[in-house]
A and B are shown apart, each in its own frame.
Chain A
Amino acid sequence: MVGNRSKPTLSAVTAETTLVSSRSLSGIVEYEPSEFTFTAMAGTTLNEINDTLRDKRQYMPFDPLLADHNATIGGTLAAGISGPGRHRYGGVRDFVLGAQFVAGDGQLIQSGGKVVKNAAGFDIPKLLVGSCGRFGAITQLTFKVFPRPQGIQTYQVRCSDHAMAATVIAAAARGRWELDAIDYSAKTRMVWLRISGAAEISQAIADDMQRVGVADSLTRVDSDQAALIWQQLGSFEFGPELDCVAKVPTTLRQMIGLADWCDTSKHAAVLHNSVAGAISWIALSQHDLDDFDTYLRETEVTGQLMRGPRAPDGRLVIGNRGINHIESAIKHAMDPVGRFPIFER
């Protein structure tokens, strides 16, 4: 099952596999602003949902990526990717409430619920997060949403090196300020902090962060430049020659290692770290893929390519395989007839 293929590596399957498009499964089925929930068909674009929510001063706090590339809500869940806003309230896994999908045996499954709190039965909607369509054809999803902040300001901290960036990130994330996003561009050595609320409140918080020594200088970024910064990540715009984009979950220490690897890579790979260290987006040339794979294996880190060719040996993951024996048993439970491709670790 594919949407608008904004993360094409995930649906690069063998020739004998039939692709089914969710493009016609589009539209918001229910939206209850007072309930903080909406239900949309899987092929509904993020743009449509964002526009609808914005009219009611609400938003998806996990800040889904690739809206400009017509990414769909189903693809966002299946890929399991969240944007910088994940830092404040959680990721796509934390906001999905219910999932309707067609299992491999043709049965229509209605899992989860449509209310913000539900502890009945197994949490199958969460299992679908990151499953890359390998468990079933997702047809409809229900999400929790939140009130949209009154405003968002971006501040930047210039760092001398990656280690300093990690120190700034850790201090900013641990403090009392409840930042909306904490990202780092390794190429420019710039930490970006997003603070929600009215402009004067954001400024007071930034001043206090500077006062207590999170960084010597927090500089406010004007709104046009801020929009550009966040849009570059949101659209995976890392440079025309960097044809691969990988998501690599990291600790801060692993982020530093990856940033160092990018600095010495043959074709000038770049790292954009998101969510205060937790997600490293690596953009690289496919000529660097083998080296990248080797580095991840050596450091026992697992990544996933969203754009570009599959991993050197054709797997969905890159680097450490993280083989998990239960996954094949779960796959068999979800898809007993083997209708969908397997998740090749």
Chain B
Amino acid sequence: MNTPTADLQSLCHRLPPGRFHADAAYQAAFESDGLTAFRQRPLGVVIPECEQEVIEVIRWCYEQSVPFVARGSGTSLSGGSMPVADGIVISLNRLNKIIHVDPDNRIAVVQPGVINLHVSAAAARHGLYYAPDPSSQKICTIGGNIAFNSGGAHCLKYGMTSNHVIGMRVVTATGEIVNLGGPTLESIGPDGTGLFCGSEGLFGVALEITLRLLPKPECFHTVLVGYRSLRAAGDAVSAVIDSGLLPGAMEIMESLAIQAAEAATACGYPDGAAAVLIVELEGPREKIAAEQQQLDAVIAATDAFETVVAADDQQRAAIWAGRKSAFSAVGKLSPDFLVQDGVVPRKRLGEALERIEKLSLASGLRVANVFHAGDGNLHPLILFDDSIAGQLQQAEALAGKILMMCVEMGGSITGEHGVGIEKRDYLPEMYDVSTIELMHRLRAAFDPKTIANPGKMFPGADAPALLTHGLHPLEKAGVISRE
């Protein structure tokens, strides 16, 4: 799809001066996202200042049949916001207004470039917060969260992003403005808001979003437990679930990740643990007082060798710092790594981890596991060295085997990072031809010319250049971390 320079001039004419940039510095700045393995320089970058400018760009793209990729802070771990060659990047970071917070109806209306954590900050004075908390929440934007239906550590109890988005005004890839949902939790007719969440930018751009806010939990009871084996930690998760408790979060890290986190943050995790389990209860003090006794009794009956209960906010923060830093810390053990995001049924977690260990041994590559144990969402981190010929291919082959294992166990290829570029070849492992055909038809309803974020989610498109691996520059700087 070649676009003559003259056409770019026509785009410039539709926008105020200074919005469109086609110089190499901008092309380079937007060539990648959180999946640093892939890079692709776009034709140019538009940085709109308002909604109408976004609409103008998309209408121009539709008229000229030029592909576009809308993005926020570019923290996608699946390559979801990778540019397209001969395409335009629309950077939405300047659409960053929190339009209003309505404490009585517990909603916030925001623009797509608003940073996730800023919503909670704006709601805090009303005792409210925005629940979805991807680890990159200090920097990732609501628009990106919607596109990839982002998760976080609290999904079992609170759900994903889509469970907290109740309405949107969107511009489809044809330039049409559509209202989905509305200002209340319920709407009439098919749930278009639910469909749009997780559509990976293939439908268009959300321009104004209505989010559901929740009362901030009053109390936390955070427990860190050390186990001599991964299986014992897995059994403890089952015991907590069987007890009837519904923790806000349940996370497991295994030894390699523990050592790396300890080295990075001195988080005080138990020495010599093969696995640590973090369980956190949250709620009103009256309920937590009762539930913490119940949880402590459940944990005491497991095969734990050390149990630490966070005595205050500082200790709780230290426990979470270890967990949240785990991926970037493990990443420092190796020049390069790949992270996977598969899901297995919770009861098969132990079996899945044993199989990953065998696959790791067979491939000769180390794998560190950190995962959301409550919802069976694995994050195996595959360590390799790209300077050694063939190791990247080995790592990708191992990652593929892990994804296939997740599907075979009745799970999913992605729990919260989305398919993007990274896992698009595996989508047919989850859905049959008819279902994928239906997805293509749905996409065409919003984007008949296939210009919105092409090359993502579905197999068959040209792969962009695979260049480098390693930590994202922002991870190296300690600004963002991964789930």
Contacts and interface: CB of A to CB of B under 8 A. Distances in A.
B242 interface: yes
Contact of A108 (B183, B346, B434): B434
A333 B284 contact: no
Nearest to B214: A178
B392 to A, nearest CB: 24
Contacts of A194: none
Given A174-B103, A177-B284, A326-B178, A94 B163 contact: yes
Contacts of B286: 197, 201, 204-205, 208
Interface stretch (A45-53, A248-256, A284-292): A248-256
B464 interface: no
Interface stretch (B7-15, B84-92, B148-156): B148-156
Nearest to A90: B163
12 contacts: A107-B437, A116-B156, A117-B376, A120-B418, A122-B443, A128-B190, A173-B106, A175-B215, A198-B290, A251-B183, A326-B446, A334-B438
Given A147-B244, A173-B106, A205-B286, A32 B184 contact: no
A127 to B, nearest CB: 4
Interface string A315-335: 011000010111101101110
Interface string A82-124: 1000100111011000000001000111110111111111111
Interface string B320-363: 00000000000000000000010111110000000000000000
A135 interface: yes
B140 to A, nearest CB: 15
Nearest to A127: B195
B339 to A, nearest CB: 14
Contacts of B423: 120
Given A119-B148, A123-B198, A324-B180, 4 more contacts: A126-B191, A131-B189, A134-B190, A177-B215
Interface centre among B187, B242, B423, B444 (most CB of A within 10 A): B187
B190 A113 contact: no
A72 interface: no
Given A119-B149, A121-B427, A122-B198, A322 B188 contact: yes
A123 B161 CA distance: 12
Given A35-B347, A131-B189, A329-B446, A123 B194 contact: yes
A146 B192 CA distance: 26
Contacts of B372: 117
B59 interface: no
Counting from the closest, the 8 A-B pairs by CB-CB distance are A126-B194, A329-B445, A333-B441, A170-B104, A107-B434, A118-B412, A176-B218, A278-B185
Interface of B: 102-106, 126-128, 148-149, 151, 155-160, 162-163, 172, 176, 178-180, 182-195, 197-199, 215-218, 238, 241-242, 244-246, 283-284, 286-287, 290, 341, 343-347, 372, 375-377, 410-419, 423, 427, 430-432, 434-439, 441-446, 457
Interface centre among A103, A109, A277 (most CB of B within 10 A): A109
A123 B195 CA distance: 5
A122 B194 CA distance: 9
A127 B188 contact: no
Interface residues of A, number: 86
B375 A117 contact: yes
Interface in A163-203: 166, 170, 173-178, 197-198, 201
A325 B170 CA distance: 12
A275 interface: yes
Interface string A287-329: 0000000000000001110000000000011000010111101
Given A109-B438, A176-B127, A249-B187, A115 B215 contact: no
Nearest to B187: A249
A119 B160 contact: yes
Contacts of A121: 419, 427, 430-431, 435-436, 439, 457
A16 B162 CA distance: 38
A304 B188 contact: yes
B185 A114 contact: no
A56 B461 CA distance: 47
Interface of A: 32, 34-36, 57, 80, 82, 86, 89-91, 93-94, 103, 107-111, 113-124, 126-132, 134-135, 146-148, 150, 166, 170, 173-178, 197-198, 201, 204-205, 208, 247, 249-252, 275-279, 302-304, 316-317, 322, 324-327, 329-330, 332-334, 336, 343, 345
A198 B445 CA distance: 50
Given A122-B442, A129-B191, A252 B105 contact: yes
A91 B159 CA distance: 11
Contact of B435 (A90, A111, A114): A111
Contacts of A173: 106, 215
Contacts of A110: 431-432, 435
A94 B159 CA distance: 7
Contact of B190 (A57, A115, A130, A208): A130
Contacts of B431: 110-111, 120-121
Contacts of B182: 249, 322
B287 A178 contact: yes
A123 B192 CA distance: 10
A327 B190 CA distance: 8
A166 B103 CA distance: 12
A277 B199 CA distance: 30
Interface centre among A173, A175, A247, A345 (most CB of B within 10 A): A173
Given A110-B431, A120-B413, A198-B290, A324 B192 contact: yes
A208 B286 CA distance: 10
B95 to A, nearest CB: 21
Contact of B104 (A146, A204, A252, A317): A252
Contact of B188 (A57, A130, A336): A130
A90 B132 CA distance: 14
Given A119-B151, A127-B195, A173-B106, A278 B189 contact: no
B185 A249 contact: yes
Given A130-B190, A302-B188, A326 B290 contact: no
Contact of A91 (B149, B178, B185, B430): B185
A80 B103 CA distance: 25
Given A317-B188, A326-B176, A333-B445, A118 B415 contact: yes
A127 B439 contact: no
Contacts of A127: 190-192, 194-195, 442
A53 to B, nearest CB: 13
Contacts of A278: 105, 184-186
A324 B179 contact: yes
A103 B434 contact: yes
A118 B412 CA distance: 6
A117 B215 contact: no
B319 to A, nearest CB: 22
A341 to B, nearest CB: 13
